[in-house]
Structure 1
Amino acid sequence: MSKIKYILGSFADPDELMDGIDKLQANNISIYDCFTPMPIHGIEAKLGVRPSRLPIAAFCFGLLGGTLGFCLLYYTMTYDWPMNIGGKPALPLPNFVPVTFECTILITALGMVATFFYRNHLFPGRAPRVMDLRATDDRFIIAIDANDNADHERIESLLKEAGAVEVKYNERKYVSYE
């Protein structure tokens, strides 16, 4: 098995990157991912990235927060410490709206932060997965999985033809636990 894990094509211009994606897809070469220093309009559709499911998670967290806020008020006002204040009913629904709303927002925000960290593998003590440090500064990187695509010379020539400034190979790094 080859030690090469990824083939990285480095571009200086986003238009050349998009052209490189087109050339690779026209030759049935699967692209692992693209890394850019800024958002590029239309790159998700070109790479076939599915829409995010984060709105569903936000709705679930909001539903949980609203339910917890309402249950907290219902429990405290009806069972735990019922008080008759000025002849009001034991379950004054209009008075529950502000606290229920605030609990909904709080649980949604905290849940989305936790989901963001979980989904992006941003755990404490974890080393970042960066293919090329220049992708955070001024380069546009196409990463191609070398194990899925066997003809490395063809991939390199397609990347150079599309305008790649540099093509390099990332090697697989083995960690010893001795």
Structure 2
Amino acid sequence: MEESSKVVHAIYTDDDTLMSAVKKVKAEKYHIEEVFTPFPVHGLDKAMGLAPTRIAIASFLYGLTGLTVAILMMNYMMIEDWPQNIGGKPSFSYFHNMPAFIPIMFELTVFFAAHLMVITFYLRSKIWPFRKPQNPDPRTTDDHFLMEVAVDGNESELLKLLNGTGAVEVNLVDKAH
């Protein structure tokens, strides 16, 4: 078995125990490949040393795209293409009709931001239709937490460390298979 394809799976039954274990493993300078949890664990990304996400910036840009589409669409439809006199409102200026257009601008801003964020999340996570699940242990979708740590010629020390962190199960696994 090639050394670089081996990982250790440490399974926990409590999120606080997992957080403590992640901090101990990081303090010992081991590389945590991934952590699988049945629900989001607050502060786990910071404890693992992950970089902050830029998804809020993407959301803002998607919202601006939606707002721009709404403004251009309403200006073309209601002012340029087919101006109508609705309730005595002037049909020659977008600016004079803007209060009536605010709900449409809001809805398209939210629509674009929400839908493009979901698409971005799926593409970024490499989740697409018909992709085989990558979960190493189905119990992590119910009530267990799994920490996957890379083995780099330090197998016995790593197993000893993980057994001392409160793991209910520690397994050496070959990721190549």
**Which of 144, 155, 160 is 1:157 aligned to?**
160
**1:171 is aligned to 2:174:** yes
2: distance between equivalents of 1:52 and 1:65?
22
TM-score, normalisation: structure 2? 0.84
Higher mean displacement: 116-125 or 10-19:
10-19
**Superposition deviation, residue 89 in structure 1:** 4.2
TM-score, normalisation: structure 1? 0.84
Higher mean displacement: 122-131 or 1-10:
1-10
Provide, for residues 27-85 of structure 1, a one-character-per-residue CA deviation record: whole Å limited to 9, x for no partner.
21121122222333332221112332221111111101111011011112332223455
Number of equivalent positions: 172
Contact 2:23 2:48 (8 Å CA) reproduced: no
**Superposition deviation, residue 126 in structure 1:** 0.3
Alignment-mate amino acid for residue 123 of structure 1: W
2: distance between equivalents of 1:41 and 1:98?
35
Contact 1:6 1:169 (8 Å CA) reproduced: yes
Paired position in structure 1 for 2:92: 90
Alignment-mate amino acid for residue 22 of structure 1: K
2: distance between equivalents of 1:14 and 1:72?
49
Runs (4+) of structure 1 exceeding 4 A deviation are none
Q: Which runs of 5+ in 2 are unaligned?
A: none
2: distance between equivalents of 1:7 and 1:41?
23
Identity %: 35
The change in CA–CA distance for 1:126 and 1:70 in structure 2 (over 3 A counts) is same
